[in-house]
Amino acid sequence: MARLLPIPIAVLLCAASIAHGAEYPTKPVRIIVPFSAGAAADAVTRAVAKKLTDYWGKQVILDNRPGVPGIQVAANAAPDGYSVLMGAGSSMVTGPLMMTKPAYKPEDFAPISRLVTIAPILTTHPSLNVKTVKDLIALAKAKPGQLNYSSSGQGAPNHLAMELLMAMTGTNMVHVPYKGGAPSVTELVGGQVQLGFNAIPSVLGHVKEGRLRAIAVGSPKRTRALPDLPAIAETVPGFDYEIWYALFAPVKTPAAIVEKFSTDVQRALKEPDVVQQLLAQGTEPAPTTPTELVQYIKADTARWVKIIKERNLTVQ
């Protein structure tokens, strides 16, 4: 009689993981969005969630929980693929780097796929007589500490973008932080501050109506949303500032579930109607595999670690 050999535990675990992936999902899936409903991140995630609902025949629901509390809820969720996080560069890279006492760790999450990138616009008030990045640099050097720029808060992405620009150009401008993106744009339009970085959707209307002047985009290359607007990198080689959003699962989520989720998100972001919808919002579909997202985050982290340390930037 043939003797049955014991099956290695690793093989059993692998088989179980594959089975989980094949069955998933069997019930509604929740995407925790640490931003308010109606924000750019919310709109992007809804477009993808709708497609996933169609693919899976199960409801994919958005749960808006603004700020750190939402991220903590996602980090403590069961690692079964039914609660995932919509994370951003500010929450998964720069925020933890600047926090004196981090409330969560990016290592608590497993990357699924990047969703989009957004090329912010460097805009100025029309009273500031500059039309190019070269003009701005020259003026800032001629008047050190006399130009004011707005941001949506200390340590916010648009604050870091200006710190990066000043570091790379040897200029000195004064930071005026506001509590949120809306008031920072309002004050810029009103002329209380003279320039700032902002996401395309928040300032495009003002640019078209002449209330603000668009100088350049922060992404490494020109964006499809505004192909005639130069990239800062065309004047300041190596300048790279773009907003990004991505999906993350709790770190112990089975690999097969993460892979299935990622594959379907990548598929959704290539659907013509989704691409058109996202481009109309001023965002660029930018799907990745989990491995590609890991490498992207490593590169993003390396760049910001240097700037944050050099500029001594912290948030409470």
What three-state secondary structure class fits 171? coil
Res 240: pLDDT: 92
Domains present along the chain, CATH in parentheses: 28-118+242-311 (3.40.190.150), 121-234 (3.40.190.10)
pLDDT confidence of 12, banded at 50, 70, 90? Answer: very low
More confident call, 139 vs 5: 139
Rounded to whole angstroms, the Cα distance separating 123 from 138 reads: 16
| pLDDT surpassing 60 at residue 1 | no
Indicate the burial class of 127 (C-beta count within 10 angstroms; 0-12, 13-18, 19 or more): exposed
Q: What is the pLDDT of residues 81-91, one digit of tens each?
A: 999 999 999 99
Partners of residue 31 on adjacent β-strands: 62, 84
Q: Which of 21, 32, 24 is nearest to 61 (CA)?
A: 32
More confident call, 204 vs 57: 57
Q: Which residues 6+ apart lie within 8 Å of 117 measured at CB?
A: 219, 242, 243, 244, 283, 284, 286
| pLDDT surpassing 60 at residue 54 | yes
Res 282: pLDDT: 83
| pLDDT surpassing 90 at residue 21 | no
Res 6: pLDDT: 54
The top-scoring range by mean pLDDT among 38-42, 81-85, 97-101 is 81-85
List the single range of 144-148, 221-225, 234-238, 290-294 with lowest mean pLDDT.
221-225
Token pair in block for residue 60: 């994919």
Q: What is the pLDDT of residues 219-269, one digit of tens each?
A: 999 988 788 999 999 999 999 999 999 999 999 999 999 999 999 999 999
| pLDDT surpassing 90 at residue 40 | no
Q: Which of 268, 248, 232 is nearest to 89 (CA)?
A: 248
Question: For 160-188, what is the mean pLDDT?
Answer: 93
Counting Cα atoms < 13 Å in the Cβ hemisphere of 240 gives 11
